Structure 1
Amino acid sequence: MTDLDPLDRQLLTLLAANARAPVARLAAKLGIARTTAQARLERLERSGIIEGYTVRLSDDARRSVIRATVLISLTPSAQGPVLAQLKKLPQVERVHTTSGRFDLACQLACPSTLDLDQTLDRIGEIDGVQDMESLIHLSTRIDRGA
């Protein structure tokens, strides 16, 4: 993995705020040549530090999706097979391993409560899922976009 210097971190911060910013504008904000900024971007992409670029949706666009976090407790040695099944569900946005009572925290995005209900049923039917608790996201109070 590539070590990040302060300039790399500043570049990543600018990209996090606007991934579509032109390289010339990034370079100007950093006080470096455009070719230097381009070379750093390419190095960060090649090394895997930058895995891709994304779109951050507005609050209005996010309101059209129901989000939920599902906390999942697994039977011993079930993590691999359960993750493989979760990966097949398009409603699953993220899965984190956790410490404590639950083994996984799964973020879902569904177009309707019916779809959310069906997705929760599918997750509950996966071999190795021992227990679940779902938390529906009502509103976002802080979003640092990371």
Structure 2
Amino acid sequence: MIELDATDRKILDALQQNARLPVTELARKVGLSKTPVAARIKAMEEAGLITGYRAILSPIKLGLSHVTYVEIRLSDTRESALKQFNAGVRQIAEVEECYMIAGGFDYLLKVRSRDMADYRRIMGEKISALPYIHATSSYVAMEAVVEQAAVSV
């Protein structure tokens, strides 16, 4: 775990809000000059705390408002089967998140699609074709109450 002071936390918070913020503006926000802020950012990048910068797209504006959570139960949970499933699920662009779960099922997927018909196609053509699928259960989200990409630091 990386130790962060209050200034590091302010820098990370500001970068999560706007990663395109010029270093001079970021320095003003955190109360330091440009050089130490740039050095702190570089150190956090080198330590692997900051793993990249990207544009965050609006799924709603792209017509991808339908969210379904899918429980997956596998027929085989040996390491080789898990590796094959993991490799396969990574190839499905519509799978926004995938977690291995300790509980009554093996994986939980978050699938984003245009509508129910689009989800049905994704399930039938892609998810169901993954190796070692034994059973699935789908849960359609009605409303996103909290949806955030940022991590609290």
Sort the Cα spacing of 1:59 and 1:141 in 2 relative to 1 into closer, same or farther, 3 A: farther
Q: Does 1:134 align with 2:138?
A: yes
Q: Counterpart of 1:107 in structure 2: which amino acid?
A: K
CA RMSD of aligned residues (A): 2.1
User: Aligned partners of 1:116, 1:59: CA distance in 2, in Å?
Assistant: 15
**Cα distance in 1, alignment partners of residues 55 and 143 from structure 2:** 19
TM (norm. structure 2) is: 0.81
Secondary structure at the aligned position of 2:15 is classed as helix
Partner SS state of residue 45, structure 1: helix
- Name the aligned partner's letter for residue 113 of structure 2: C
Please give the TM-score of this superposition, normalised by the length of structure 1. Answer: 0.85
Residue aligning to 1:76? 77
Structure 1 alignment gaps of length 5 or more: none
Give the share of equivalent positions with the same residue, in percent.
28
> For residue 10 of structure 1, what is the aligned residue in structure 2?
10
- SS across alignment from 1:100: coil
Residues 1:123 and 2:136 aligned together? no
1:25-66: CA deviations, max 9, x gaps?
11111111111111111222222211122333458526x202
Q: How many residues align?
A: 145
- For 1:37, give the aligned amino acid: V
Q: Which amino acid aligns with 2:134?
A: Q
1:95 to 85, 98, 118: 98
Cα distance in 2 for residues equivalent to 1:136 and 1:52: 31
Work out the CA distance in 2 between the residues paired with 1:76 and 1:34: 51
2:106 counterpart letter in structure 1? D
Q: Is the 8 A contact 2:88 2:131 kept in 1?
A: no
Q: Partners in 2 of 1:52 and 1:68 — Cα distance?
A: 27
SS in 1 for 2:69: strand
Q: Structure 2: which 5+ runs fail to align?
A: none
Cα 1:59/1:82, change in 2 over 3 Å? closer
CA distance in 2, matches of 1:46, 1:112: 41
